[in-house]
Structure 1
Amino acid sequence: MEKIEKSNTRSEPTTTEKDNAKPHQEAKGTRTRPMKVLSLGLPRTGSYSMCLALHQLGYQNVYHLRDAATQRPEDWEFFASAGDALFPALPTYNKRGMTRKQWDVIFGSCEGVTDIGSVFAQSLIEAYPEAKVILVERDFDSWWKSMQVLLDLAFGRMATFSLNVVEPLAGSGMSASMQKLMVGWLGLESTNPSQAELKDRARDVYEKHHAMIPKLVPEERLLRCRIGDGWEPLCRFLDKKVPDTPFPQSNDAASIRKQVEANRMKLAWMALQRVAFWIIAIMVLTLMIRLAGRMGY
């Protein structure tokens, strides 16, 4: 199996990362709105439905993985850097942890975080102790079936081809950052895990996550629920009026796959253009050399 290579890393966001921290983080490391809600149900537990629900209840700029996958693929670099600071399984682990100011680089104008936030649950709870916490739960078997869609984007054949061939030519590190984050979060030993290893590590993460959050969050600041519970428990917990519309139901896996694949196609086109440029340049140079030879130069 291909082992993860070590490299020099950092936990402090670079100037480039801060400048790229839009549209959510206009202030580049300062908080422009209070962080009110951390929805820390694992990815594929209805996190996008919860994101839509929080928006409908009036919360501003609720962050979801779709933002990274569809609007800002470079956000993956930030999350991979956070993995260096937080995930001991990574050979690039630097033990620095993440501060509130660092999280504000990407979440500075967000009143809520869902989905990707669950990967960094403990750090975010410590960074934003004033925020209420929602833990959306789902049975493991159905969760695992759904998670395989996301894991395929990180470890599948297309991901491997894009990471090793396309993205180096296009000058992108999206797939490498995505894969690194998944490796660190799941505690994998390589970037080429078997399905059995993925499922085993996912079950371990699932069980530890659901045991950890109630220990970190006071009972009065924590809501444990399922997406099928509807508006009532959520609105009671957040002290909001129950909307007279159905609770949002959205399956975002297909959308995320579509957008990641679209980003990879865009990178493939960039890589092809760069390769074509050098092919044409070499052909022109070869032709000039041949012509010079025939003319006696």
Structure 2
Amino acid sequence: MVSGTPFSTPWVERRGAQRVVPMKVLVLGFCRTGTASMRVALETLGYRETHHMQTVLANPLEVDMWREAIDAKFHGKGKPYGREEWDQLLGSCQAVTDVPAVLFSEELIAAYPEAKVVLTNRDPAKWWQSYSQSLQQVFLSKRVSLAGVFDQQHFGKVINFAQTCVTTILGVRAGYAEKQKSMARFVEHYDSVRELVPKERLLEYEVGEGWDRLCAFLGDEVPDTPFPRVNDTEVLKQSIGLWAGMILRKAAFKLALPAAVLMLSAALYFRRIRS
């Protein structure tokens, strides 16, 4: 179990796993386009496990395989991932959304030709505003960086991996993205997905539209509950902020105890030599 973090789900080793449910939906819009809301929406509709960056945060054992896939595709190192590898990583999922999956849009479209594709869209300028005020600030946070130093096996590992994902998708080091270049990468990605997916298999969609178009496309009944509206920015700040704070408080306690012992020992020593 993950201890000392906001996450309490068991870590799962994906390497060597097999697909246990069919992949049905690929949500391939950029992060900060309502991907967290889509995750909740799809699971409300009954899709088992929608993979999201939060999935990796809760299960850092996935990171090594995702890094292998990134190295193979973007750096020419190792074997490119195919259906066998994707089934290992995503075999328990019926849907994906957000990074890191969106980095492999072309590969996932090819690996799962039966899956429907939803392209969560947003005005590029509004997307940039959301990204620059949320993720970019997290990557620049000294508090987050320090927490990563004290918890390198979990927090540090996944934060570093998240930075790698954003750096890869935007083409510039995470935390230092430029507005115009980032918006151009955003548009380029959407044009690429449109070219890869037949129109009958693709839905361009904004989360503010609600259930009707999404359910009609997926062939699902419209739920009686309102469409979920998850505030990605607030969820991100709260989860990362609370987690980092917890790590730093534990680190401070661990450092303070030996310091207090040392100070007490010094005080007793000087008291003895004075007497």
Scaled to the shorter chain, the TM-score interval is 0.7 to 0.9
Counterpart contact for 2:60–2:154, Cα < 8 Å: no
Please list the CA deviations of residues 236-275 of structure 1 after superposition, one character each: whole Å capped at 9, or x if unmatched. 1111122233222221221122112222233334544564
2:138 — aligned with what?
A: 153
Counterpart contact for 1:61–1:110, Cα < 8 Å: yes
Q: CA RMSD in A?
A: 3.3
1:260 — aligned with what?
A: 240
**Does residue 1:113 correspond to 2:96, yes or no?**
yes
Q: Any idea what SS the aligned residue of 1:151 has?
A: helix
Q: Any idea what SS the aligned residue of 2:227 has?
A: coil
TM-score, normalising length from structure 2?
A: 0.79
Measure the CA separation in 2 of the matches of 1:100 and 1:243. Answer: 32
**Does residue 1:21 correspond to 2:8, yes or no?**
no
Structure 2: which 5+ residue stretches go unaligned? 1-9
Q: CA deviation at 1:223?
A: 0.8
Please list the CA deviations of residues 180-204 of structure 1 after superposition, one character each: whole Å capped at 9, or x if unmatched. 222222111x4662xxx43233212
CA distance 1:32–1:277, shift in 2 (3 Å):
farther
TM-score, normalising length from structure 1?
A: 0.73
**Does residue 1:126 correspond to 2:114, yes or no?**
no
Structure 1: which 5+ residue stretches go unaligned? 1-18
Q: CA deviation at 1:127?
A: 2.4
Q: CA deviation at 1:59?
A: 0.9
Counterpart contact for 1:29–1:103, Cα < 8 Å: no
Q: Any idea what SS the aligned residue of 2:118 has?
A: strand
Structure 1 moving runs of 4+ over 6 Å: 280-287
2:7 — aligned with what?
A: none
CA distance 1:159–1:204, shift in 2 (3 Å):
farther
Q: Any idea what SS the aligned residue of 1:87 has?
A: helix
1:100 — aligned with what?
A: 83
1:138 — aligned with what?
A: 122
CA distance 1:126–1:278, shift in 2 (3 Å):
farther
**Equivalent residue pairs, number:** 260
Equivalent positions of 1:265-280 (< 5 A) are: 265-272=245-252, 275=255
Measure the CA separation in 2 of the matches of 1:282 and 1:115. Answer: 48
Which of 55, 59, 68 is equivalent to 1:67? 55
Percent pairwise identity? 32
